[in-house]
Amino acid sequence: MVAIAHAASDRWTHQRVRFDFTNLLAESVGSAHGVTLRELRAMAPRAADAARWLQHLRASGQVEWMDLPYQRGVVERVVTFADNLATRCEAFVVLGIGGSALGAIALHTALNHPFYNELAPAQRGNRPRVYVLDNVDPDFVAGALDRLDLRRTVFNVVTKSGSTAETMAQLAIVRDRLRAALGAAAADHIVATTDAARGDLHALAEQEGYALFEIPPTVGGRFSVLSPVGLLPAAVSGIDVRELLAGAAEADASCRDDDLWVNPALLNATAHYLLYERGKHITVLMPYSQKLRGLADWFRQLWAESLGKTCQVDARTIEVGPTPVSALGVTDQHSQLQLYLDGPPDKVITFVAVDRFDRVVAIPPTHLGLGSVDYLGGHTLNELINAERVATALTLTRRHRPNCTFLLPELRAFTVGQLIYLLEVQTALIGHLLGVNPFDQPAVEAGKEATYALLGRPGYTAQAQRLARRLGMGRKIL
Ligand code: PA5
């Protein structure tokens, strides 16, 4: 068991996330399916190289997401702005997609009441309801707009590139509606979060007078949750973003080490790399906490877009990338576990466990004379969910399925901040071990450009013609 941080202040000692990798080891799951300590030791020099590579990028300003835990001025502005906003709006709507949405969803679901939007305003601390519109399904968008009183709604348009079609379309729609409903006051209802130099949103925000938050240049979408991209929506709903960043800083204390026995992100990246090389091509993240479902979805994007790459190795083209799957304990024990236990042995499962839930729900004693019910009486749902997790890990281990566990003492901003930062570093490190660039997304960009071409964006005419030829159609496609 490795504690994420070792340089913590005393205040947070009891809130350290721990990482248990015992069941990744050959001695737990067998030599055909686990990694041996000898293999890990043999990999230590390469792992150390990967850690130094990342620290070098950091020192040269190429991975500013690593320094987000320390962005003091920005945080103060975010919190002040969010507190002020909370007094004048009753709905806060994020318009964004991919990395510009999943982090906000992850924080909101992890750290707010599970039925936050349904609570009475006073129960939400008089904070606005929060929505994230991360799709352009017309029924979804129109349905959301039906539910909003535009006079009391603020839209946060989030796009790092400042030009993603989905987000810009949503902006055009809400801008139009706001102007029709509110006239010149419309601009007070739009907040832009974007890159200072790329795309059109920054200039539009300045021109129209939207409040504006900038995403640092080398913070890519899926690594942006600790920037204003995730912090603003979180702060609006009252999440303690300073504590979140303190948690991330805590993880940074150990995740910068180049010794894999000290750095849990490096250890897990290395073990996952070794297991990938022996055919374990699927990475499952399975939190046993309903509130961490959003975090599992956030991780799925982080892992998929960072690691799924075609690259050149020794003049050969190779396609690389472990496929991430997000699952939810206990729910997916009843939909996925059969496959994990009996299906192909191609998965590594990471559990996220919560030691102390916010609430304790007792199961009342019953004396029905029914074996299926009476034994549960006197236990709690807390015991049940954790017993199911332990039982699942044990069963998987016995069936030679490697698994590991992040254990959060509690679900709070500090522990979530640690986990987010650790998973980001782990993703970057395994990317390096796999020989891919974890920070680009050429295939996503290609998809975006094809959409621009299909819809007639200026500058994409040649591409539109090529697509039309391929589709066997005239120049006009849509
Ligand atoms: O991680 C990424 O880079 C992507 O998933 C982007 O976040 C997503 O495509 C949205 O891009 P943007 O924030 O530029 O609108």
Residue-by-residue DSSP string for 228-279: HHHHHHHHHTT--HHHHHHHHHHHHHHHT-S-TTT-HHHHHHHHHHHHHHTT
Looking at residue 203, its pLDDT comes to 97
Domain count, the chain: 2
| Residue 326 · residue 299 · CB < 8 Å | yes
Calculate helix-pair angle for 413-434, 293-307, nearest 10 degrees: 20
Distance, CA 414 to ligand 1 centroid (Å)? 26
Residue 136 has pLDDT above 70, yes or no: yes
Quick one: 75 and 175 in the same domain? yes
Q: State which ligand 1 atom lies nearest to the alpha carbon of 167.
A: 15
Number of H helices, E strands in the chain: 17, 13
- What is the band of 446 on the pLDDT scale with cuts at 50, 70, 90? confident
Model confidence band, residue 453 (pLDDT cutoffs 50, 70, 90): confident
Segment 12-22 mean pLDDT: 91
Domain-located, residue 440: no
Please indicate, yes or no, if residue 470 is contained in any of the structural domains.
no
* Tens-digit pLDDT profile for residues 192-219: 999 999 989 999 999 999 999 999 999 9
Q: pLDDT tens, 283-327? A: 999 999 999 999 999 999 999 999 999 987 778 888 999 999 999
Residue 322 CB less than 6 A away from ligand 1? no
Q: Are 243 and 420 in contact (CB under 8 A)?
A: no
CA dist 455 → 208, 393, 442, 472 (Å): 25, 49, 20, 17
Q: Does 260 lie in the same domain as 136?
A: no
- State the CATH number of the domain containing residue 8: 3.40.50.10490
Residue 140 belongs to some domain of the structure: yes
253 with 401, same domain: the answer is: yes
Residues 73 and 218 grouped into a single domain: yes
Which range among 78-82, 244-248, 386-390, 467-471 shows the weakest confidence by mean pLDDT? 467-471
- In the chain, the percentage of residues whose pLDDT exceeds 90 is 86
Q: What is the pLDDT of residues 52-108, one digit of tens each?
A: 999 999 999 999 999 999 998 999 999 999 999 999 999 999 999 999 999 999 999
Q: Are both 261 and 280 inside the same structural domain?
A: yes
Same domain, 248 and 266: yes
Residue of the CA atom closest to atom 3 of ligand 1: 221
Q: For position 477, what pLDDT does the model report?
A: 53
Domain span at residue 147 reads 65-240
Q: Are residues 208 and 267 in the same domain?
A: no
The answer to the question of residue 441 being in a domain is: no
Å from CA of 184 to ligand 1 middle: 30
Residue 137 DSSP SS3? coil
